[in-house]
A and B are shown apart, each in its own frame.
Chain A
């Protein structure tokens, strides 16, 4: 197997450094020491903390990063090569997918197993469900099926994207592609969990640019709680501040509990 595949499958990314989640990663950004040896501290988390699948494999997409011509061709023909194919190296005709594609696929299987094994909707819980193996396999494969073969009446699609609450935003601002939302009354989300997300539904003029597409992000986007009335989320666009808005924000729960940051010490 290619080394890049092995690294990807070992959750090695060396690319977190996410300011948006700085509380979770305080003083723990990826460090690299190159002296007599290579020492890296890496942090792994799901690339999509809210949804059943990754953005790259959402809806009708297969999960290719599409960053190389090879991947575009593979996506066109819906062909994913065997990762352990020994025909690699100089002169190999085995197509080569990128590490992002491999990690996306791994993430989807990991999520599918958690959904299949844990009780209820598998969010926040850790107790193994009592259902039969067949039922669990149905859930597992249902996570990984093409859009047209999904069974939307069973998990995960039947309940994963449920809204757990609604709050009322009264002002919103965007600075350096980070949106800050102020709610009144308080949003009600507990800081004991790091898995909150929102789907913004604002009706006011240009403020609609802050809205979240539920076709692209069916279970919303992750947020960071600032205080009882304020939270932030990533939102690309021009810097702006709107002090009076109408609309709602659907509150969602994604993958989490306390934290999902797995620290990797590479020696």
Chain B
């Protein structure tokens, strides 16, 4: 029986002498099995088959040689425990990498990943998120938690609106998570960032779209305002991947959805009469895109809602004359794409705001005052659910219908509303700028 000895990356007279002795002894040990000198029944069960003992001998050589190198204390790789000096560089096969990923609770195979998400969407009538109890994350102390646990801590069983003790619940959650009360206890709105930030961290580990969805919400809650461009978008989501390009792919797909129950006469797009040169693109077209019926997970409606896309005009479209009335883009019917490449899309513009239970950004749509452009505080007003000076955030949310049980459509609503505060504010009444009170921001992505 021949051995397959590993390469030993540690050198030195002591190591070489040990390795020679090791190999000689190992071969003699296996000979004892072959020649019935050792009775395997006397051994513990892992060593009764000579094939297993041979494997253990082969794989045991590297580490035992390393110990000899350590003890000998001479120079060279493997002699101390500074990371740069002693690693054993091991290249893994794809199968081994996949297995490590699976050990860490990840799904490696792209098809499995897709199937998993498809299954989640199929089982979720809202198509928003997988059931929170199905997403298990291990904390640093080894405990398994799910978003459900966090949500349950906040809102109990979800049957009652968490209006009364919402902030106390959030504070308690913060205290438990950190072991001390927050410095900004007198400013409860800042606490609103805690939970979404935590969920955002979890989301990053799950899906690129989820990471984007929660990152934008946290950006709103921080109250930074301003314009999010490609660089900042990638920065606040997953810096190592290009979220702007991910979004471009999603949008390209969404804009070509076949006719169905979409917002604009069954389509997800509306051709606007605007001249694209207003946006700095000559010879192009301006499209309003609705993500209200996006079925992919996570839905773009929770990321961008309705947004503006400027193309360079290289795309082609045809006219559906069966669409009538205001849904028509031209006198003869409704435009729909016959070909659209992502390279045709030059700009994606949106204002990230909450026109119902949060802050809304009002645009005049004249000159440069268009989605994606900078703005000032005087353009911000309360969402339409704040009807008077005493409307509480809780009331606004409840007027908007029953909150869902998932985080984004449920708990997130309470958080967004609470950063708004009580009472309707008209244009000019927002501000001054204050961290953590929530503020719309513009998104302007150039391609």
With A82-B51, A109-B53 as known contacts, state yes or no: A262 contacts B63, CB within 8 Å: yes
Cα(A261)–Cα(B330), bound, Å: 73
User: Are A106's CB and B56's CB within 8 A?
Assistant: yes
Report how far A264 CA is from B414 CA in the complex, Å: 47
- Residue among A9, A44, A110 with max Cβ neighbours from chain B (10 Å): A110
The smallest beta-carbon distance between B49 and chain A, in angstroms, is 5
| A113 to B55 alpha-carbon distance, docked (Å) | 13
- Among B56, B61, B87, B101, chain A packs the most CB atoms within 10 A around the CB of B56
B87 engages A145 (CB within 8 Å): no
A128 touches B21 (CB 8 A): yes
Residue in contact with B90 in the complex, picked from A105, A118, A266, CB distance below 8 Å: A266
- Provide the residues of chain A in CB contact with B59, threshold 8 Å: 9-11, 106
Q: Which residues on B sit within 8 Å (CB–CB) of A251?
A: none
Contact indicator B96/A80 (Cβ below 8 Å): no
Q: Given A109-B56, A260-B67, A262-B88: A146 and B25 within 8 A (CB)?
A: no
Cβ of B81 and Cβ of A41 under 8 Å apart? no
User: In chain B, residues 38-67, which have Cβ atoms closer than 8 Å to a Cβ of chain A?
Assistant: 38, 42-49, 51-53, 55-57, 59-64, 66-67
Could you tell me if B17 and A128 are in contact, using CB atoms closer than 8 angstroms? yes
The contact of B101 among A38, A124, A128, by CB within 8 Å, is: A38
Q: Is the CB of B100 within 8 A of A27?
A: no
Closest B residue to A124 by beta carbon equals B71
Interface residue tally for chain A (C-beta within 8 Å): 68
Is the CB of B83 closer than 8 A to any CB of chain A?
Answer: yes
- Give A52 Cβ to nearest chain B Cβ, in Å: 12
Instruction: Tell me, yes or no, whether A72 is within 8 Å of chain B by CB.
Output: no
Contact A62 B44 (CB under 8 A): yes
**Cross-chain contact B52 with A80 (CB below 8 angstroms):** yes
User: Is the CB of B150 closer than 8 A to any CB of chain A?
Assistant: no
Whether A44 touches B63, Cβ cut-off 8 Å, given contacts A117-B22, A117-B25, is yes
Residue B409 interfacial (CB < 8 Å): no
Asked whether, in the complex, the Cβ of B63 is within 8 Å of the Cβ of A12, the reply is no
Count chain B residues whose beta carbon lies closer than 8 angstroms to a beta carbon of A: 62
Q: Kindly state the separation between the CA atoms of A140 and B48 in the bound complex, as whole angstroms.
A: 14
Take A7-B96, A117-B25 as given contacts and tell me if A264 and B88 are in contact as well, using a CB distance cutoff of 8 Å.
yes
Q: How far is the CB of A163 from chain B (nearest CB, A)?
A: 22
Q: Is A89 an interface residue (CB 8 A)?
A: no
User: Judging by beta carbons under 8 Å apart, are B42 and A146 in contact?
Assistant: yes
Flag if A4 contacts B99 (CB, 8 Å).
Answer: yes
Q: Is the Cβ of B44 less than 8 Å from the Cβ of A38?
A: no
Verify if A263 is at the interface (C-beta below 8 Å from B): yes
Collect the chain A residues with CB atoms within 8 Å of residue B120's CB.
Answer: none
| Distance in angstroms between the alpha carbons of A34 and B88 in the assembled complex | 20
Interface membership of chain A positions 1-33, coded 1 if the CB is closer than 8 angstroms to chain B and 0 otherwise: 001101101111010000000001001100010
Of B32, B44, B52, B56, most A-chain CB atoms within 10 Å:
B44
B122 within 8 Å of A (CB atoms): no
The reply on A141 being an interface residue by CB < 8 A is yes
| Residues of chain A lying within 8 A (CB to CB) of residue B81 | 24, 28, 258-259, 261, 263
Question: Is B89 touching A265 in the complex (CB atoms < 8 A)?
Answer: yes
Q: Are B90 and A265 in contact (CB under 8 A)?
A: yes
Does B235 belong to the interface (CB within 8 Å)?
no
Q: Is B2 part of the binding interface, using a Cβ–Cβ cutoff of 8 Å?
A: no
Separation in Å of the B201 CB from the closest CB of chain A? 14
* Residue contact B96 to A126, C-beta cutoff 8 Å: no
Question: Are A263 and B86 also in contact (CB < 8 A) when A106-B60, A144-B47 are?
Answer: yes
Chain B: minimal CB distance from A160 (Å): 16
CA distance A226 to B24 in the complex (A): 42
Instruction: Please list the 4 inter-chain residue pairs (A to B) with the smallest Cβ-Cβ separation, ordered nearest first.
Output: A110-B60, A109-B56, A265-B87, A257-B71
| 26 examples of A-B residue contacts, CB within 8 angstroms | A3-B96, A7-B96, A9-B59, A63-B44, A78-B45, A80-B52, A101-B46, A105-B47, A106-B59, A109-B56, A114-B64, A126-B14, A126-B68, A126-B71, A128-B18, A137-B25, A137-B29, A149-B43, A257-B73, A261-B86, A266-B90, A266-B91, A266-B92, A266-B100, A267-B90, A267-B92
